[in-house]
Amino acid sequence: LPEHLYSTNNFPELKNDLMLRAARGEKTERVPVWVMRQAGRYLEEFRAMRAENEFFKVCQTPELACEVTLQPIRRFQLDAAIIFSDILVVPQALGMTVEMIPGKGPSFPEPLKLPEDLSKLDKDVDVNKTLGYVFDAITLTRHKLEGKVPLIGFSGAPWTLMCYMIEGGGSESMSKPKQWLYKYEEASHQLLNILTKVIIDYLVGQVIAGAQLLQVFESHAGHLCARTFNTFALPYLSIIARQVEEKVRAQGKEPVPMIIFAKGAHYAIEDLAQSGYEVVGLDWTVNPKTARHQTQGKVTLQGNMDPGALYASKEEIRTIVREMLEQFGTQQHIANLGHGIYPTIDPDHVEAFVDAVHSISEEINLD
Protein backbone atom coordinates (compact mmCIF):
# COMPACT_ATOMS: atom_id res chain seq x y z
CA LEU A 1 0.00 0.00 0.00
CA PRO A 2 1.19 3.54 -0.69
CA GLU A 3 3.04 5.14 2.20
CA HIS A 4 0.68 8.13 2.52
CA LEU A 5 -2.16 5.78 3.60
CA TYR A 6 -0.17 5.08 6.78
CA SER A 7 0.54 8.73 7.52
CA THR A 8 -1.40 10.45 10.31
CA ASN A 9 -0.77 14.01 9.04
CA ASN A 10 -3.02 14.29 6.03
CA PHE A 11 -6.41 12.80 6.88
CA PRO A 12 -9.39 13.77 4.70
CA GLU A 13 -11.64 16.48 6.15
CA LEU A 14 -14.58 15.18 8.24
CA LYS A 15 -17.91 15.81 6.48
CA ASN A 16 -20.31 14.48 9.14
CA ASP A 17 -19.51 15.57 12.70
CA LEU A 18 -22.93 14.78 14.25
CA MET A 19 -21.46 12.05 16.49
CA LEU A 20 -18.73 14.36 17.76
CA ARG A 21 -21.14 17.19 18.45
CA ALA A 22 -23.64 14.92 20.21
CA ALA A 23 -20.85 13.38 22.29
CA ARG A 24 -19.67 16.83 23.40
CA GLY A 25 -23.23 17.81 24.34
CA GLU A 26 -23.58 20.32 21.48
CA LYS A 27 -26.78 20.85 19.53
CA THR A 28 -27.56 18.45 16.67
CA GLU A 29 -30.18 18.76 13.95
CA ARG A 30 -30.83 15.03 14.18
CA VAL A 31 -29.79 12.14 16.41
CA PRO A 32 -26.63 10.37 15.22
CA VAL A 33 -26.76 6.58 15.03
CA TRP A 34 -24.37 3.64 14.91
CA VAL A 35 -24.78 -0.01 15.89
CA MET A 36 -22.66 -2.09 18.27
CA ARG A 37 -21.17 -4.98 16.23
CA GLN A 38 -22.25 -3.25 13.02
CA ALA A 39 -19.44 -5.14 11.27
CA GLY A 40 -20.13 -8.79 11.83
CA ARG A 41 -21.73 -12.07 11.01
CA TYR A 42 -25.20 -10.76 10.05
CA LEU A 43 -23.55 -9.37 6.87
CA GLU A 44 -22.91 -11.87 4.07
CA GLU A 45 -19.83 -9.95 2.92
CA PHE A 46 -18.40 -10.38 6.44
CA ARG A 47 -19.13 -14.13 6.42
CA ALA A 48 -17.44 -14.39 3.01
CA MET A 49 -14.36 -12.65 4.38
CA ARG A 50 -14.35 -14.94 7.45
CA ALA A 51 -14.70 -18.06 5.30
CA GLU A 52 -11.30 -17.17 3.81
CA ASN A 53 -9.57 -15.78 6.90
CA GLU A 54 -9.20 -16.78 10.54
CA PHE A 55 -10.75 -14.24 12.97
CA PHE A 56 -7.54 -12.82 14.46
CA LYS A 57 -5.91 -12.75 11.02
CA VAL A 58 -8.62 -10.26 9.98
CA CYS A 59 -7.83 -8.19 13.09
CA GLN A 60 -4.08 -8.36 12.45
CA THR A 61 -4.16 -7.46 8.74
CA PRO A 62 -4.86 -3.72 8.38
CA GLU A 63 -6.27 -4.03 4.83
CA LEU A 64 -8.74 -6.74 5.95
CA ALA A 65 -9.73 -4.99 9.19
CA CYS A 66 -10.26 -1.78 7.20
CA GLU A 67 -12.39 -3.56 4.59
CA VAL A 68 -14.64 -5.13 7.26
CA THR A 69 -14.96 -1.77 9.06
CA LEU A 70 -16.21 -0.18 5.84
CA GLN A 71 -18.75 -2.91 4.98
CA PRO A 72 -21.66 -1.53 7.07
CA ILE A 73 -20.74 2.06 6.11
CA ARG A 74 -21.32 1.19 2.45
CA ARG A 75 -24.76 -0.27 3.20
CA PHE A 76 -26.30 2.07 5.78
CA GLN A 77 -26.46 5.80 6.60
CA LEU A 78 -24.49 5.30 9.81
CA ASP A 79 -22.92 8.29 11.55
CA ALA A 80 -19.78 6.49 12.73
CA ALA A 81 -17.53 3.57 11.86
CA ILE A 82 -15.95 1.39 14.57
CA ILE A 83 -12.58 -0.16 13.86
CA PHE A 84 -12.83 -3.91 13.39
CA SER A 85 -10.93 -5.71 16.12
CA ASP A 86 -11.75 -7.48 19.38
CA ILE A 87 -11.37 -6.64 23.05
CA LEU A 88 -9.29 -9.82 23.49
CA VAL A 89 -6.30 -8.47 21.55
CA VAL A 90 -5.20 -6.89 24.86
CA PRO A 91 -4.82 -10.23 26.71
CA GLN A 92 -2.91 -11.43 23.63
CA ALA A 93 -0.60 -8.41 23.92
CA LEU A 94 0.01 -9.41 27.56
CA GLY A 95 1.25 -12.77 26.31
CA MET A 96 -1.85 -14.96 26.58
CA THR A 97 -3.07 -17.26 23.83
CA VAL A 98 -6.64 -16.66 22.64
CA GLU A 99 -8.34 -18.81 20.02
CA MET A 100 -11.62 -18.06 18.28
CA ILE A 101 -13.52 -21.33 18.08
CA PRO A 102 -16.24 -21.38 15.38
CA GLY A 103 -19.71 -21.71 16.89
CA LYS A 104 -18.33 -21.30 20.42
CA GLY A 105 -16.46 -18.00 20.65
CA PRO A 106 -13.18 -17.01 22.25
CA SER A 107 -11.23 -19.55 24.28
CA PHE A 108 -8.07 -19.30 26.38
CA PRO A 109 -6.25 -22.66 26.53
CA GLU A 110 -4.29 -21.48 29.59
CA PRO A 111 -6.41 -19.08 31.66
CA LEU A 112 -5.07 -17.52 34.87
CA LYS A 113 -5.88 -19.83 37.80
CA LEU A 114 -3.98 -18.55 40.82
CA PRO A 115 -2.35 -15.24 41.86
CA GLU A 116 1.12 -16.61 41.02
CA ASP A 117 0.03 -16.93 37.38
CA LEU A 118 0.23 -13.13 37.12
CA SER A 119 4.01 -13.52 36.85
CA LYS A 120 3.48 -15.10 33.41
CA LEU A 121 2.08 -11.86 31.96
CA ASP A 122 4.31 -9.49 29.96
CA LYS A 123 3.62 -6.51 32.20
CA ASP A 124 5.77 -3.96 30.37
CA VAL A 125 4.19 -4.40 27.00
CA ASP A 126 5.09 -1.92 24.28
CA VAL A 127 1.74 -1.40 22.56
CA ASN A 128 3.44 -0.06 19.43
CA LYS A 129 5.08 -3.45 19.00
CA THR A 130 2.26 -5.75 20.12
CA LEU A 131 -0.80 -3.81 18.93
CA GLY A 132 0.72 -1.67 16.18
CA TYR A 133 -1.42 -3.57 13.68
CA VAL A 134 -4.54 -1.99 15.22
CA PHE A 135 -2.97 1.47 14.95
CA ASP A 136 -2.13 0.80 11.29
CA ALA A 137 -5.69 -0.40 10.63
CA ILE A 138 -7.06 2.80 12.21
CA THR A 139 -4.79 5.07 10.18
CA LEU A 140 -5.59 3.25 6.95
CA THR A 141 -9.32 3.32 7.69
CA ARG A 142 -9.26 7.07 8.42
CA HIS A 143 -7.96 7.58 4.88
CA LYS A 144 -10.34 5.10 3.26
CA LEU A 145 -13.37 6.61 5.02
CA GLU A 146 -12.67 9.80 3.05
CA GLY A 147 -14.13 11.87 5.89
CA LYS A 148 -17.59 10.37 5.43
CA VAL A 149 -18.04 9.65 9.17
CA PRO A 150 -15.76 9.63 12.24
CA LEU A 151 -13.92 6.49 13.32
CA ILE A 152 -14.40 5.01 16.79
CA GLY A 153 -11.54 3.17 18.51
CA PHE A 154 -12.21 0.89 21.48
CA SER A 155 -10.89 -1.31 24.25
CA GLY A 156 -12.30 -3.73 26.76
CA ALA A 157 -12.36 -2.39 30.33
CA PRO A 158 -10.13 -3.93 33.03
CA TRP A 159 -12.81 -5.98 34.85
CA THR A 160 -14.25 -7.34 31.59
CA LEU A 161 -10.82 -8.41 30.33
CA MET A 162 -10.01 -9.91 33.74
CA CYS A 163 -13.19 -12.00 33.36
CA TYR A 164 -12.00 -13.60 30.11
CA MET A 165 -8.41 -14.06 31.30
CA ILE A 166 -9.53 -16.04 34.36
CA GLU A 167 -12.74 -17.69 33.12
CA GLY A 168 -11.05 -18.64 29.83
CA GLY A 169 -14.03 -17.68 27.65
CA GLY A 170 -17.64 -16.60 27.74
CA SER A 171 -19.73 -17.74 30.72
CA GLU A 172 -23.16 -17.44 32.33
CA SER A 173 -21.82 -16.67 35.79
CA MET A 174 -18.15 -15.60 35.51
CA SER A 175 -17.76 -17.50 38.78
CA LYS A 176 -13.97 -17.92 38.47
CA PRO A 177 -13.09 -14.20 38.20
CA LYS A 178 -15.70 -13.50 40.90
CA GLN A 179 -13.89 -15.95 43.18
CA TRP A 180 -10.74 -13.89 42.68
CA LEU A 181 -12.54 -10.73 43.87
CA TYR A 182 -13.50 -12.38 47.15
CA LYS A 183 -10.54 -14.74 47.70
CA TYR A 184 -7.62 -12.90 46.13
CA GLU A 185 -8.49 -9.25 46.51
CA GLU A 186 -4.92 -8.01 46.31
CA ALA A 187 -4.06 -10.09 43.25
CA SER A 188 -7.28 -8.89 41.63
CA HIS A 189 -6.16 -5.29 42.06
CA GLN A 190 -2.71 -6.19 40.72
CA LEU A 191 -4.26 -7.66 37.59
CA LEU A 192 -6.65 -4.72 37.18
CA ASN A 193 -3.69 -2.34 37.48
CA ILE A 194 -1.69 -4.25 34.86
CA LEU A 195 -4.69 -4.08 32.52
CA THR A 196 -5.40 -0.40 33.22
CA LYS A 197 -1.84 0.55 32.28
CA VAL A 198 -1.86 -1.26 28.95
CA ILE A 199 -5.42 -0.10 28.13
CA ILE A 200 -4.37 3.54 28.62
CA ASP A 201 -1.37 3.14 26.30
CA TYR A 202 -3.54 1.28 23.81
CA LEU A 203 -6.28 3.95 23.72
CA VAL A 204 -3.75 6.80 23.50
CA GLY A 205 -2.09 4.97 20.59
CA GLN A 206 -5.46 4.68 18.86
CA VAL A 207 -6.05 8.43 19.11
CA ILE A 208 -2.55 9.18 17.80
CA ALA A 209 -3.29 6.76 14.94
CA GLY A 210 -6.49 8.64 14.06
CA ALA A 211 -9.41 7.42 16.23
CA GLN A 212 -11.91 10.28 16.65
CA LEU A 213 -13.91 8.82 19.55
CA LEU A 214 -13.18 5.98 21.98
CA GLN A 215 -15.55 3.44 23.52
CA VAL A 216 -14.63 1.40 26.57
CA PHE A 217 -16.58 -1.88 26.80
CA GLU A 218 -17.33 -2.96 30.37
CA SER A 219 -19.47 -5.79 29.01
CA HIS A 220 -19.48 -7.83 32.21
CA ALA A 221 -20.48 -5.11 34.69
CA GLY A 222 -23.71 -7.09 35.12
CA HIS A 223 -21.81 -9.78 37.02
CA LEU A 224 -20.87 -7.24 39.70
CA CYS A 225 -22.99 -5.53 42.35
CA ALA A 226 -22.82 -1.85 43.31
CA ARG A 227 -20.24 -2.67 45.98
CA THR A 228 -17.86 -4.71 43.84
CA PHE A 229 -18.34 -2.32 40.89
CA ASN A 230 -17.23 0.59 43.08
CA THR A 231 -14.16 -1.34 44.22
CA PHE A 232 -13.05 -3.27 41.14
CA ALA A 233 -14.43 -1.42 38.11
CA LEU A 234 -15.26 2.26 38.60
CA PRO A 235 -11.86 3.46 39.95
CA TYR A 236 -10.06 1.92 36.97
CA LEU A 237 -12.59 3.33 34.48
CA SER A 238 -12.04 6.82 35.93
CA ILE A 239 -8.25 6.51 35.78
CA ILE A 240 -8.52 5.45 32.14
CA ALA A 241 -10.67 8.47 31.18
CA ARG A 242 -8.41 10.92 33.00
CA GLN A 243 -5.06 9.53 31.88
CA VAL A 244 -6.01 9.01 28.26
CA GLU A 245 -6.99 12.67 28.07
CA GLU A 246 -3.77 13.80 29.80
CA LYS A 247 -1.48 11.59 27.74
CA VAL A 248 -3.08 12.55 24.43
CA ARG A 249 -2.57 16.22 25.32
CA ALA A 250 1.02 15.53 26.36
CA GLN A 251 1.63 14.18 22.84
CA GLY A 252 0.40 17.48 21.39
CA LYS A 253 -2.96 16.11 20.19
CA GLU A 254 -6.52 17.14 21.05
CA PRO A 255 -8.35 14.63 23.30
CA VAL A 256 -11.38 12.86 21.79
CA PRO A 257 -14.80 12.16 23.36
CA MET A 258 -14.97 8.92 25.33
CA ILE A 259 -17.93 6.56 25.72
CA ILE A 260 -18.33 4.14 28.61
CA PHE A 261 -20.63 1.18 27.92
CA ALA A 262 -21.05 -0.79 31.13
CA LYS A 263 -23.58 -3.51 30.33
CA GLY A 264 -25.77 -4.41 33.28
CA ALA A 265 -24.54 -1.47 35.40
CA HIS A 266 -27.99 0.04 35.99
CA TYR A 267 -26.94 0.47 39.65
CA ALA A 268 -24.01 2.72 38.65
CA ILE A 269 -25.46 5.21 36.17
CA GLU A 270 -25.12 8.22 38.48
CA ASP A 271 -21.49 7.36 39.23
CA LEU A 272 -20.71 6.69 35.58
CA ALA A 273 -22.01 10.16 34.68
CA GLN A 274 -19.23 11.58 36.88
CA SER A 275 -16.43 9.23 35.93
CA GLY A 276 -14.82 11.42 33.25
CA TYR A 277 -16.57 10.06 30.14
CA GLU A 278 -18.55 12.36 27.84
CA VAL A 279 -21.02 9.61 26.92
CA VAL A 280 -22.66 6.84 28.97
CA GLY A 281 -23.95 3.90 26.95
CA LEU A 282 -27.09 2.17 28.24
CA ASP A 283 -28.14 -1.42 27.75
CA TRP A 284 -31.73 -2.16 26.78
CA THR A 285 -32.89 -2.91 30.32
CA VAL A 286 -32.49 0.73 31.35
CA ASN A 287 -35.41 3.15 31.15
CA PRO A 288 -34.16 6.21 29.21
CA LYS A 289 -36.21 8.63 31.31
CA THR A 290 -34.80 7.22 34.53
CA ALA A 291 -31.27 7.51 33.15
CA ARG A 292 -31.90 11.14 32.10
CA HIS A 293 -33.11 11.90 35.59
CA GLN A 294 -30.07 10.19 37.13
CA THR A 295 -27.55 11.95 34.88
CA GLN A 296 -29.12 15.45 34.83
CA GLY A 297 -27.62 16.55 31.50
CA LYS A 298 -24.04 15.90 32.71
CA VAL A 299 -23.39 13.43 29.90
CA THR A 300 -24.73 12.38 26.51
CA LEU A 301 -26.58 9.06 26.63
CA GLN A 302 -26.12 6.31 24.04
CA GLY A 303 -28.51 3.47 23.28
CA ASN A 304 -30.58 1.54 23.84
CA MET A 305 -33.05 -0.35 21.66
CA ASP A 306 -33.36 -4.05 22.48
CA PRO A 307 -31.24 -5.82 19.82
CA GLY A 308 -34.07 -8.34 19.61
CA ALA A 309 -36.42 -5.61 18.36
CA LEU A 310 -34.65 -5.91 14.98
CA TYR A 311 -36.65 -9.14 14.57
CA ALA A 312 -39.85 -7.04 14.48
CA SER A 313 -41.42 -5.88 11.21
CA LYS A 314 -40.00 -2.69 9.69
CA GLU A 315 -43.19 -0.79 10.62
CA GLU A 316 -42.92 -2.00 14.21
CA ILE A 317 -39.23 -0.99 14.30
CA ARG A 318 -40.26 2.58 13.37
CA THR A 319 -42.78 2.62 16.19
CA ILE A 320 -40.20 1.36 18.69
CA VAL A 321 -37.62 3.91 17.47
CA ARG A 322 -40.15 6.74 17.81
CA GLU A 323 -40.90 5.76 21.41
CA MET A 324 -37.18 5.51 22.18
CA LEU A 325 -36.42 8.94 20.68
CA GLU A 326 -39.32 10.53 22.54
CA GLN A 327 -38.06 9.05 25.81
CA PHE A 328 -34.48 10.22 25.34
CA GLY A 329 -35.32 13.57 23.76
CA THR A 330 -33.36 14.39 20.62
CA GLN A 331 -30.40 16.24 22.15
CA GLN A 332 -27.42 14.70 24.01
CA HIS A 333 -28.41 11.38 22.50
CA ILE A 334 -26.58 8.90 20.28
CA ALA A 335 -28.94 6.20 19.05
CA ASN A 336 -27.70 2.61 19.18
CA LEU A 337 -28.84 -0.81 20.28
CA GLY A 338 -28.58 -1.76 23.95
CA HIS A 339 -25.93 -4.37 23.04
CA GLY A 340 -24.39 -5.97 19.95
CA ILE A 341 -26.49 -7.04 17.00
CA TYR A 342 -27.25 -10.79 16.73
CA PRO A 343 -25.82 -12.74 13.78
CA THR A 344 -29.32 -13.83 12.67
CA ILE A 345 -30.66 -10.30 12.05
CA ASP A 346 -31.80 -9.34 8.54
CA PRO A 347 -29.65 -6.41 7.30
CA ASP A 348 -32.79 -4.79 5.82
CA HIS A 349 -34.08 -4.39 9.38
CA VAL A 350 -30.85 -2.67 10.39
CA GLU A 351 -31.47 -0.26 7.54
CA ALA A 352 -35.01 0.30 8.82
CA PHE A 353 -33.62 1.10 12.30
CA VAL A 354 -30.99 3.54 11.00
CA ASP A 355 -33.39 5.28 8.61
CA ALA A 356 -36.05 5.57 11.31
CA VAL A 357 -33.60 7.32 13.66
CA HIS A 358 -32.75 9.79 10.89
CA SER A 359 -36.22 10.69 9.75
CA ILE A 360 -38.05 10.56 13.08
CA SER A 361 -35.46 12.55 15.03
CA GLU A 362 -35.40 15.21 12.29
CA GLU A 363 -39.18 15.36 12.37
CA ILE A 364 -39.30 15.71 16.17
CA ASN A 365 -36.65 18.47 16.01
CA LEU A 366 -38.72 20.45 13.49
CA ASP A 367 -41.87 20.32 15.67
Binding mask 169-208 for ligand 1CP (x = CB under 6 A): -x--------------------------------------
Task: Specify the residue, 180 or 217, whose C-beta has the smaller distance to ligand 1CP.
Answer: 217
Q: Output the smallest distance, CB 82 to ligand 1CP, in A.
A: 5
Asked if 222 is part of the footprint of ligand 1CP (rule: CB under 6 A), the reply reads no
Asked if 340 is part of the footprint of ligand 1CP (rule: CB under 6 A), the reply reads yes
Determine the size of the site formed for ligand 1CP (CB under 6 A). Answer: 22
Contact 262, 241 (CB under 8 A): no
Residues 6+ apart with CB under 8 A from 129: none
Give the interface segment with ligand 1CP, choosing from 4-12, 38-46, 187-195, 223-231 (CB under 6 A): 38-46
Give the interface segment with ligand 1CP, choosing from 99-107, 199-207, 251-259, 285-293 (CB under 6 A): 99-107
242 closest CA partner among 200, 207, 280: 200
Task: Specify the residue, 53 or 190, whose C-beta has the smaller distance to ligand 1CP.
Answer: 53
Contact 254, 212 (CB under 8 A): no
State how far the Cα of 38 lies from the Cα of 25, in Å rounded to an integer.
24
State how far the Cα of 299 lies from the Cα of 320, in Å rounded to an integer.
24
**Run of H or E residues at 7:** none
Task: Specify the residue, 357 or 360, whose C-beta has the smaller distance to ligand 1CP.
Answer: 357
Nearest-CB residue to ligand 1CP? 170
Name which position in 40, 91, 158, 281 contacts ligand 1CP (CB under 6 A).
Answer: 40
Residues 276, 281, 283, 284, CA torsion sign = positive
Give the interface segment with ligand 1CP, choosing from 39-47, 107-115, 181-189, 225-233 (CB under 6 A): 39-47
Beta sheet of 300-305, edge-to-edge order: 81-82, 151-156, 213-218, 258-262, 279-281, 300-305, 333-337
> Which residues are known to be catalytic?
37, 41, 50, 86, 164
Asked if 165 is part of the footprint of ligand 1CP (rule: CB under 6 A), the reply reads no
List phi, psi (to 5°) of 106.
-70, 145
Give the interface segment with ligand 1CP, choosing from 33-41, 107-115, 118-126, 250-258 (CB under 6 A): 33-41
Task: Specify the residue, 102 or 252, whose C-beta has the smaller distance to ligand 1CP.
Answer: 102
Asked if the bond preceding 336 is cis, omega within 30° of 0, the reply is: no
Q: Output the smallest distance, CB 364 to ligand 1CP, in A.
A: 27
State how far the Cα of 46 lies from the Cα of 71, in Å rounded to an integer.
8
